[in-house]
Amino acid sequence: MHMTQIEAAKKGIVTPQMEIVAKKENIDVEVLRERIARGTVVIPANKNHTALSPEGIGEGLKTKINVNLGISGDCHNYEEEFEKVRMSIDFGAEAIMDLSNYGKTHTFRQELIDMSSAMIGTVPMYDAVGYLEKDLKSITAKDFLRVVEAHAKTGVDFVTIHAGINRKTIDTFKQTKRLTNIVSRGGSLLFAWMEMTGNENPFYEYYDELCDILHEYDVTISLGDAMRPGSTHDSTDASQITELIELGILTQRAWDKNVQVMIEGPGHMALNEIKANMEIEKRLCHGAPFYVLGPLVTDIAPGYDHITSAIGGAIAATYGADFLCYVTPAEHLRLPDVNDVKEGIIASKIAAHAADMAKGIPGAREIDDKMSDARRRLDWDEMFSLAIDGKKAREYFESKPPQDRHTCSMCGKMCAMRTTNYILEGKDVSLLSDEK
């Protein structure tokens, strides 16, 4: 009988996936197993995703990043989306979420899972109308579960399920009001369905059945934040916190069903609120791994939201977030192109690595020390090999080549590294003539 990662961990069993993650993280496998058993670490690994290179997310592990992509009604170039997939894997993204909501979603998803060593996530709610070929109001609660099962069978490693937007959460939302209302796509669709049909959220009402489906394939549930703030004005409000309380209760229920859990979080949020939000999530959701979108720390930078997100993501991960969803320069504007995806990945990788250094993750600082040593020695090829984007670094360097190839065109012969190296080596420094 197939066991989920958390089920095996509770029984004291070390799985092959745990062994792989322990080696990647340079952590004792028994420590890892114990954290998985407690739910503070997850290894999203669908039994049908055979191409997967497993990754751990959570307590004491390196901060992971996720890339969003997929086919939409306005942009459905399948080859371009696969180019984004290849780029994401090349740059070391640990997860890819397929948010396709148009056309041959099943075929695209199956090809993605077959080729991807990264974890694959989806939001089945996005696919419901197309998969079922029904309008939103006509879809039944059981229909929604059928879509989740279809994704699970395909090999998806984690699914975002907005189960916390129940009647209680909606009552709070209506009473307290918001500047930007509901900005979660899946959350808004469920809100509309609930209001049009008069029914409870099907993922909340049939949560046990949902967990049974996820358990069968070992799909991790990523409890979605339908009430995430879509503006700094709405952050940490009653709607967000009411939903988070519900997610904490649902976390324990999923663990009781031996289903791994992540919690999704904001959104837009001012800098001074981030630390407290990380602590509240860990407290209310029993230490479950926290997966955050940003947070974006200002609302006025369309075209540069990969930067606003990286600022918030670095702070969030420093104070407890475990998994960062990238944001591209195209956020709030259009579907990102390949270059946007690259910019988003790099910004998110920088944020994750900066946080790992701040948290003291074992080995995180080693590559920075190697880069600094290469800079001291003015070894440009080594610097490029250590850079997150060595190709771009080399292009910048070579676009304005210096006269002295041991320096760069910023300082030339006045390079501080060059000057200090010469003096420590017992050489004279001449700025007006060529040294031998």
Name the binding residues for Zn(2+): 268, 332
CA dist 61 and 27 (Å) reads 9
Among left, alpha and beta (phi > 0; psi -120 to 50; other), residue 337 is: beta
Number of alpha carbons in the 13 Å side-chain half-sphere of residue 33: 16
Q: 17 and 43 in contact (C-beta within 8 Å)?
A: yes
Q: Residue positions in the annotated binding site for substrate?
A: 68, 97, 126, 162, 184-186, 225-228, 264, 291
Q: Give which of 422, 433, 410, 426 is closest to 376, Cα–Cα.
A: 422
Contacts of 107 (CB under 8 A, 6+ apart): none
For residue 317, give Cα distances in angstroms to 96, 221, 398.
Answer: 19, 20, 35
Contacts of 151 (CB under 8 A, 6+ apart): 109, 122, 124, 127, 159, 219
Tell me the three-class secondary structure of 48-84, residue by residue.
Answer: CCCCCCCCCEECCCCCEEEEEECCCCCCCCHHHHHHH
Q: Residue positions in the annotated binding site?
A: 68, 97, 126, 162, 184-186, 225-228, 264, 268, 291, 332, 408, 411, 415
Angle ∠(218,222,225) on CA atoms, nearest 5: 165
Kindly calculate the radius of gyration of the chain based on its CA atoms and give it in whole angstroms: 24
CA dist 91 and 342 (Å) reads 8
3-state helix, strand, coil in the chain (%, to 5): 50, 10, 40
Q: Residue positions in the annotated binding site for [4Fe-4S] cluster?
A: 408, 411, 415
CA dist 386 and 1 (Å) reads 44
CA dist 109 and 221 (Å) reads 18
Tell me the three-class secondary structure of 142-193, residue by residue.
Answer: HHHHHHHHHHHHHCCCEEEECCCCCHHHHHHHHHHCCCCCCCCHHHHHHHHH
Angle ∠(428,432,379) on CA atoms, nearest 5: 65
Backbone angles phi, psi at 80, to 5 degrees: -65, -40
Read off the DSSP letter of residue 296: B
